[in-house]
Structure 1
Amino acid sequence: MMTDQKLYILMMSVHGLVRGHDMELGRDADTGGQITYVVELARALGRNSHIAQIDLLTRQIEDPNISPDYAAEIEELGPNARIVRLPCGPRKYLRKELLWPHLDQMVDRCLHYLRQQGRLPDLIHTHYADAGYVGQHLSNLLGIPQIHTGHSLGRPKRARLLASGRKEQAIERQFNLSRRIAAEEEVLVHASLIITSTSQEIEDQYGMYKNTDPRRCQVIPPGTDTSRFSPPGRKPLDPAIQAGIDRFLNTPEKPVILTICRPDTRKNLHGLIQAYGSDPSLQDMANLVIIAGSREDIRAMEESQRKIMNDVLLDIDRYDLWGKIAIPKHFMVEDVPEVYRLAVRRRGIFVNSALTEPFGLTLIEAAASGLPIIAPEDGGPRDIITNCRNGLLVNTLNPSDIASALKDALSDRKRWRNWSRNGIASVRRHYTWDAHVSKYLREADKLLYRERKRLRRQLAATLHAGRSPMPLARKVIISDIDNTLLGDEQGLAEFLQWLRMHAGNISFGIATGRTVESAVRILKKWRVPMPDILITSVGSEINYWPSLRPDKGWSNHIRHRWRREALAEALKEIPGLALQAPENQREFKLSYLVTPERMPPLKQLYQHLHKQNLHAKLIYSHEAFLDVLPVRASKGLAVRYLAYKWGLPLQSFLIAGDSGNDEEMLVGDTLGVVVGNHSPELESLRDREQIYFAKNTYALGILEGMKHYHFDQ
């Protein structure tokens, strides 16, 4: 049973050229079937009565070498569905392997976008590993379930490339697969639902990953638009498209062996041409038509595609196939249905000769058009031919097997007619977008039901119900723990009651020198519901409740010039310094006990580090402790990072503290509150603008400061 509330789903497909019309499929290795899938899925979901809004987020591209369409911020796809383009990294177009360093920026851009919408999505659905990385971080930050569709996976790709003889280092240099595979493993741990096209994808491909849980995988085959892909009927074919193919052929009326794919090694065009070129009897039976995207000049194509197309032309010449093979230069997505219908009129066959095929959307399109199919005997085609009963499976690694299957399929006209009818009927039964959306929403409803139960269980442990209030909060309170938030039970109770009354509009966080584990322990001891944000370890870590999920963007930001082991070695022999207990050491923090009379001055320590080309921030406190942090880390910088990340002005942050350790985050454009029991070192701030010295102590001092600033307005 569907939820009563209409759903807002945030879909993400980061790479490639994504637009809702004239899709340039095959233009490059990144603009293929995934683009069709995500655009059509967004449209189909938008038409459903249970959907409020579908936003398909992708990368905004401003590049003179591509259409200005890809720079438009918003593109409507249909009812309740649109493409939203956000800037990420350089303005120019980048292939997907070069996007990884810029994906943290996409996380921040998405957060700013969602703040503008005034409503958080119910689900985040990501496509491919790069979007999976972004979506996982959004899901963690917002507490929203993630659905993921892999489309193609890094481990199987690496295995195929190694099997083909490529060297591992060369593969890594070209495809950056180690980072992609690591991101896929993390998504598999986190995502609430993995959608696959076939059961084989779960068993054989996801089975190569250590974090795969088949219980969270669900087969939902893609749909096809049967209003576009349909049998030819009696309507005349488009003469321009027919002429664009027939001009290559000596005998155009012969049956057509049709393949449609982008120029990619995995698509095995070499094997198909070898199968056709090595068999004169097959050449007598049919012409070969290859639609491999659009091109202006092969020499201007990217290197991998240029090599494939050069090899195709050399193979055609090797087997002297001129007059028997058509490989037109210009074919738009809108032309493809007519090409299928032309092949049906000529009693042809569609062949997918790929070395491996996770699904095979073109097989569904061909079947919907009434064109029988030949396809690889692994992956998605096994399910498709089982459901559609409209063709043959073949070992595409063997060109002679491809040739034999094609001749077999073309030689029996009665069986060809049965296959054609079966394909049309079965696609309508199994592979329409309406069928896909119905199953998709059933699974989404189950997921959201489990999510609502989880949130109800967590409600008592936090000030908010599981999901972060940060994206929609108007203001944020950040307080030190010791001697600021804690110290007076009655004042703390009044402060917490105030926060509950303003939940949703005002978010609450702590900033402390304690580790996150120590902070959680002391807050639980004082029966403080967990804050939304925990800035810990002197600002070197940011975590979010309820799952203590780390802000990876902050970690990546402060990693700059941080060489922890080298710093530890450089400080090893410094007199007056002794490492604190292991539980006080963190990835981005070295903590020392200090003997003040023996430790050199801080200036001398900085000079010592700089001589070794080491960079760090040294925080000396209470004449007893020294913390060594990345140069970009501190409680004050963490607050400013949060302001940027969540799209809030600094004036929307109220900062409360009591000691010199809090000084950096109290000064500046934030609203500062110094509680009445403050340490003497803060007296120098008394005349500063936007720093209020409360008369009341501890949490009552925070309340007094909020009243002074009219913080609830």
Structure 2
Amino acid sequence: MHIAFLNPQGNFDPRNSYLASHPDFGGQLVYVREVARTLGKMGHHADILTRRIVDPDWPEFASDTDAYPDAPNVRILRIPCGPDRFLPKEELWPYLSEWAEDVQQFYRKEASWPDLWTGHYADGGLAAALLEEASGIPFTFTGHSLGAWKLDFLLQDSEDPDDLREADAGYNFGARIEAERAAMARSAAIVTNSAAERREQYDHPAYSEAVDANDDGRFAVIPPGVDFSIFDPEARSPHEAETLAEIRAAHERDIGSGRRSLPAVIAWSRLDPKKNHRALVEAFARHPELRDRANLIVITRGLEDPLRDPDSAPEEERPVLYDLISVVERSNLWGSVSAFSLSGQVTLAALYRWGTGTGGVFCLPAEYEPFGMTVVEAMAVGLPVVATKNGGPRETTDEGRSGLLVDPHDPDDIAAQLLRLLSDREAWQAHADRGRQRARERYSWRRTAESYLRLSEEAARGVRRGDPTFPLPEFVRRSDPAELPRLKSWSRAGGRSNGQRQKG
């Protein structure tokens, strides 16, 4: 089998340069890289197609081809389009038809098409639709994140049409949403990480008539996998001792000397109001028994001491920190809570192993979580989890059998579930064992790759198919960079609108 992964905006190289250090180089790159590498190890062929960049600030992405040393069946193919310099993903839309045309020419010269195109993010999905039209080869679409929900978030406190115009001008939402609609409608299948993502993300009014979130035949749930060479109780990274030293230093700085042997409740997610850190801190504030049994550890990427220096955080994160600090001060939680910076998968895995050694728990109290990769990674290491009942964690924990689920809006429920594990060693061990088994059985990259192979076979047989008559955006039909479409109105999920109510 030969599968081509289309990522115009993603940049791949053998050293994983800039991975997770730039907004365009996030978790979806890990997903594509690991599925492709696993397919290669299974004896199949995988191409990762991205955009070539000739820019002194991005020297890693200038060559036409590249490869991973341990994956001989995987090619990184960089196809040029537009200017040579780096462009953020929002600025790629005028050049996508050029990029797709050059991808076509590459495979025509090889005199062989892949067996499946798989488009990732909106631009990859639109490119896949163009390539299917040219080649007759079906494609799948994985949105990873959808523009309509980001626009809803930006407009959540506004009904002013000027705010819509400003957001659209800055992020080219008109082009992105047209691309998403075409990719959803034309793809043989839409791939999601979880059934919750399908139900909640694709049922936005912006995507009506392009996809029906209730149509089982249009979706395939293929969750990401875990790298068990990193996330395992017995694994050790070359920097394990260094990471443990950082954890101990923060522990000694923030945690009272008489409390340092207590278990750790670990929270690791970005400082976003929807991640709901406040409810977890409030659980500690309201329940003395929880404070007596554990310390709270909040990991904040790039912020060394954010509870004492909140102004060091980016402006959009500061309100979250100010809110947490107010609860800490009101309830005098100083000495039982620590916040510090760690980043990277091997560092995260080392933290989880340390947390397991303390008899601790991982907690994700987000208001809603589409999947929750950190939950699965904690489970893989043997760290029991307490996670939101809203979204993907309900599936990843097997309806609460491999981890405990909580109402994220109820600090008392969060405290109660944490105490179930912290006050009962047998319950702690049972959930640790079941969580690790669940992660091993359900969330391996091999299982993810096998699902793609089945999907490719179903698409080739015509078992799954999209709607080839659904219109493609006009701007990709033009040979020269075209003016992009603009949103004249917007209807948010829930019915509120900016400007005139959008039709369909």
TM-score (norm 2): 0.78
Indicate yes or no: 2:402 matched with 1:390. Answer: yes
Residue of structure 1 in register with 2:495 after alignment: none
Residue 133 in structure 1 maps to residue 136 in structure 2 = no
Q: How much does 1:350 deviate? A: 1.5
By how many angstroms is 1:408 displaced? 3.8
Q: What amino acid is aligned across from residue 15 of structure 1 in structure 2?
A: Q
Mapped to 2, the partners of 1:358 and 1:192 lie a distance apart of 22
What secondary structure is seen at the aligned counterpart in 2 of 1:331? coil
CA contact (8 A) 2:40 2:46 kept: yes
User: Shift of the alpha carbon at 1:373?
Assistant: 1.5
SS of residue in 1 equivalent to 2:9: coil
Structure 1 residue aligned with 2:79: 86
**Aligned residue among 201, 205, 219 for 1:205:** 201
- 1:422 lines up with 2:434 in the alignment: yes
Distance 1:163 1:548 in 2: 30
Task: Tell me the distance in 2 between the aligned counterparts of 1:223 and 1:353.
Answer: 22
Matches within 5 A, 1:301-700: 306-315=314-323, 317-318=325-326, 319-320=328-329, 323-386=335-398, 389-399=401-411, 401-450=413-462, 555-557=477-479
Task: Name the counterpart of 1:57.
Answer: 49
How far apart in 2 are the matches of 1:283 and 1:154? 41
Give the letter for the 1:229 counterpart.
Answer: F
Q: What does the per-residue CA deviation read over 1:190-230, in whole Å, with 9 as the maximum and x for residues that have no partner?
A: 00111222222233322333222521212222221223211
Residues 245-277 of structure 1: per-residue CA shift (max 9 Å, x gap): 121122443222223334555434455455556
Does the CA contact (< 8 Å) of 1:289 and 1:327 recur in 2?
A: yes
Q: Is the 8 A contact 1:254 1:346 kept in 2?
A: yes
Is 1:142 the equivalent of 2:135? yes
Cα separation, partners in 2 of 1:253 and 1:243, compared to 1, 3 Å: farther
Structure 1 letter corresponding to 2:264: V
1:153 aligns with 146
* 1:586 aligned partner: none
1:352-395 deviation line (CA, Å, top 9, x unaligned): 23332211122111111111212222221111112672222223
Whether 1:188 and 2:179 are equivalent positions in the alignment is no
Structure of higher RCO (CA pairs closer than 8 Å, 6+ residues apart):
2
Candidates 24, 27, 32, aligned match of 2:21: 27
CA deviations on 1:14-41 (whole Å, 9 max, x unpaired) are 3355445456554344333222211111
Instruction: Report the Cα distance in structure 1 between the residues aligned to 2:324 and 2:405, rounded to whole angstroms.
Output: 25
What is the DSSP-based 3-state SS (H/G/I as helix, E as strand, rest coil) of the residue aligned with 1:248? Answer: helix
Counterpart residue type for residue 423 of structure 2: S
Deviation at 1:163, TM superposition (A): 4.8
Q: Label 1:92 to 1:346 Cα distance change in 2 as closer, same or farther (>3 A).
A: farther
- Taking a change above 3 Å as real, the CA distance of residues 180 and 375 of structure 1, as seen in their structure-2 partners, is farther
Deviation at 1:325, TM superposition (A): 4.1
The aligned residue for residue 255 of structure 1 is: 263
The Cα of 1:130 is off from its aligned counterpart by 1.9
Residues 267 and 226 of structure 1: CA distance in aligned 2, closer, same or farther (over 3 Å): same
Which deviations, in whole Å up to 9, do the C-alpha atoms of 1:130-170 show, x marking residues without a partner? Answer: 21112111221222101111222233444455556686625
Return the alpha-carbon distance in structure 1 between the equivalents of residues 396 and 199 of structure 2. Answer: 17
Deviations for 1:231-256, whole angstroms, at most 9, x for unmatched residues?
24899992211111121122443222
Change in 2 beyond 3 A, CA 1:366/1:125: same
- 3-state SS of paired residue (2:33): helix
1:287 counterpart = 2:290: no
Instruction: Answer yes or no: is the 8 Å Cα contact 1:23–1:332 preserved in 2.
Output: no
Deviation at 1:293, TM superposition (A): 3.7
| 2:68 is equivalent to residue 74 of structure 1 | no
Aligned CA RMSD, in angstroms, stands at 3.8
How far, CA to CA, are the matches of 1:268 and 1:407 in structure 2? 19
Q: CA separation in 2, counterparts of 1:325 and 1:236?
A: 28
Structure 1 residues 387-429: Cα deviation after superposition (integer angstroms, max 9, x where no partner): 6722222233455544444344433321111000001112222
CA distance in 2, matches of 1:297, 1:227: 31
Contact kept in structure 1, 2:303 and 2:341, CA below 8 Å? yes
Closer/same/farther in 2, CA of residues 105 and 324 from structure 1, 3 Å limit = farther
SS in 1 for 2:224: coil
Instruction: Provide the secondary structure at the position in 2 that maps to 1:10.
Output: strand
Whether the aligned pair in 1 keeps the contact of 2:53 and 2:80 (CA below 8 Å) is: yes
Q: Which residue is 2:226 aligned to?
A: 224
How many residue pairs were aligned?
457
Aligned to 1:665: none
For 1:9 and 1:204, the matched residues in 2 are separated by 28
Partner of 1:500: none
Give the Cα–Cα distance (whole angstroms) in 1 for the partners of residues 19 and 294 of structure 2.
Answer: 26
> In 2, distance between residues paired with 1:98 and 1:264?
26
Q: How far did residue 12 of structure 1 move?
A: 1.6
**Equivalent-residue separation in structure 2 for 1:24 and 1:109 (angstroms):** 26
Give the conservation status (yes or no) of the 8 Å contact 2:179–2:472.
no
For residues 396 and 100 of structure 2, the distance between their equivalents in structure 1, rounded to whole angstroms, comes to 37
The one-letter code sitting in structure 2 at the alignment partner of 1:555 is: R
Q: Where does residue 41 of structure 2 map in the other structure?
A: 47
Q: Which amino acid aligns with 2:355?
A: A
Partner amino acid, structure 2, of 1:202:
R
Unaligned runs of 5+ in 1: 1-6, 455-545, 563-713
C-alpha change, 1:100 and 1:235, in structure 2 (3 Å) is closer
| Matches of 1:273 and 1:96, distance apart in 2 | 36
Task: Give percent identity, aligned residues only.
Answer: 34
CA contact (8 A) 1:33 1:361 kept: no
Aligned-partner Cα distance in 1 for 2:238–2:99: 48
**Separation in structure 1 between the aligned mates of residue 157 and residue 387 of structure 2, nearest angstrom:** 20
Larger C-alpha radius of gyration, 1 or 2? Answer: 1
Give ranges in structure 2 of 5+ residues lacking alignment: 485-504
Contact 2:20–2:26, Cα closer than 8 Å, also in 1: yes
* 1:56/1:554 CA distance change after superposition, 3 Å: closer
Per-residue deviation, 1:338:
1.5
